[in-house]
Amino acid sequence: MSSTEPTTLAAVVAAATRVAETSSRTGKIAELATLLRGLAPEEVEPVVGLLTARVRQGRLGVGWATVAGLGARADPASASGLTVGEVDAALDRLAAVGGAGSTLERADVLGGLWARATEQERRHLSGVLLGELRIGALEGVLADAVARAAVVPLEAVRRAAMLSGSLGRTAYLALSGGDLAGVGLAVGTPVLPMLAATAASAAEAIGSLDGPASVEVKLDGARIQVHREGGPGSAVRVFSRTLADITDRVPEIAALVADFPGGALVLDGETLVLDEDGGPRPFQETMSRFGSATAQDEALRPWFFDVLHADGVDLLDEPLSVRRARLAAVVGEHGIRSIETADPEAAEAFSREALAAGHEGVVVKALASTYAAGRRGRHWLKVKPVHTYDLVVLAAEWGSGRRAGWLSNLHLGARDPDVPIGEPGAFVMVGKTFKGLTDEVLRWQTGRLPLLETHRTSRAVHVRPELVVEIAVDGVQRSSRYPGGVALRFARVKGYREDKRAEDADTIAALRAQLQRG
């Protein structure tokens, strides 16, 4: 790395713009590698954050309403003068703000930043602050660029980023000549969660796996990863699916894990709010409870299904059978309800019981499988007989009648895995719906979607494909109306999934498979 002058924000935004306008993955990698090679060591991690909207400071406490009001405070600067270091320092100040008067203090910090930023820089910073920047420089492409700029193996970059939970820190290490192979799981640093593919039934899932499996209840909850530094009473940190630190919002979970036996721990699980009869409440109530620590009658209950570290030993590369035994010894009754079987009929019976209890279905996991952090493979298979899909909002039409003035009818897209995120065609439209939208959600999306606007017509606001929404359907049918060749039957909104990113959306292949199953 070499740099004689501080890197400007304008240079980063210009590179990001060129990347967004480049359709070739090779071209994107080359552009980003050139940018990375010219950075000073202290600029690497901030720049990676500015390119991926995952800044090193973590949560900044800035919402879309705050960002929307910034433009009224001052006109954009006519020429850029901000450096990466100055932006990073401002983000440090934002991250440190708290307590009484924090709203005004945040506004002052952001106001100073906005007063010095050009219009183009403001748009880029808005995406960074909201964690919703889509310029085609997603982490997969950027990891390739880091490997090229540092002249190191790509797999070494990917594994280090996976285990450290930070591509920015990995990039710094690679570009400064550090030892990527020495990066391991660190208690207190979240790792990317392992993801599941889909299967039509529990019996089909069992049949596709080689050997016995764990069949586990699939909760309609929120993914959590919990780290404990040492033995009982040690500090505990809780992270969301997107690796955000949510410890202060779930004190009951932290207190519970603090009392578990043994030493240091890294646990993977789900949490949700229960009703008065002990049944699961709707997912949106769980997500609402995530917003703050509230009364005990709304306490979140965790269930754990994996352990990645215990008593100083990393377990990522151990088979699930070993991890399950260690997990049971630690969490006891707080383990997810499950059975171990290779019998399709037993798996189906267990799946029916899970559905009867009000849960989403089951997840079938090969007992011989290791923990593939950050990857969706065929060793974990989710089965949700009530058809729901996580899709991306592509546009919203203005409502009429009682919904006049609100953005209502949603255009929905499924992910095309053959097209990199950020490039045209990465999401394929599969239908529309306005059903299931409450007045509260209508108000929210009418304020939220224009911040992601790419263009509009007289009928609709078209947006960057970033917001994930869970859609329930009666089925999938063939259709020549939409480019994917399929359409949703009787689609209705279950709720927005702000815990998921666009790359987590279901694929067009999953919808086509449902069509084949009838």
3-state secondary structure of 355: helix
Radius of gyration of the chain (CA): 23
Q: Indicate the average pLDDT of the chain.
A: 87
Residue range 385-412, pLDDT digits in tens: 768 899 999 999 998 877 889 999 999 9
pLDDT given at position 422: 78
Based on the residue annotation, tell me whether 500 is a catalytic residue of this protein.
Answer: no
- pLDDT tier at 132 (50, 70, 90 boundaries)? low
Q: Is 412 exposed, middle or buried, given 0-12, 13-18 or 19+ CB atoms closer than 10 A? A: buried
Residue 114 in this model has a pLDDT that exceeds 80:
yes
Distance CA 485, CA 476 (A): 10
Q: Identify the residue whose tokens are 């006049």.
A: 404
Half-sphere exposure in the Cβ direction for 199 (13 Å, CA): 27
Question: How many other C-beta atoms lie within 10 A of the C-beta of residue 372?
Answer: 15
Among residues of the chain, what percentage have pLDDT more than 70? 91
Helix (H) or strand (E) holding 52: helix 41-52
Residue range 427-482, pLDDT digits in tens: 999 999 999 999 899 999 999 999 999 999 988 999 999 999 999 887 788 888 88
Give the 3-state DSSP-derived string for 78-101, with helices as H, strands as E and coil as C: CCCCCEHHHHHHHHHHHHHCCCCC
Inter-CA distances, 414 with 475, 501, 505, Å: 15, 13, 7
pLDDT given at position 360: 84
Q: Identify the residue whose tokens are 């979970």.
A: 253
Handedness of CA 161, 164, 166, 168 (dihedral sign): negative
pLDDT given at position 7: 93
Residue range 276-329, pLDDT digits in tens: 566 666 666 776 666 655 544 567 889 999 999 999 999 999 999 999 999 999
- Give the mean model confidence (pLDDT) for residues 114-139: 77
CB 211 within 8 A of CB 255: no
Residue 3 in this model has a pLDDT that exceeds 60:
no
Query: Tokens in use for 43?
Result: 């600029």
pLDDT given at position 294: 52
Q: How do beta strands 195-198 and 376-383 pair? A: parallel
CB 464 within 8 A of CB 413: no
Residue 236 in this model has a pLDDT that exceeds 80:
yes
Catalytic residue among 28, 218, 365, 382: 218
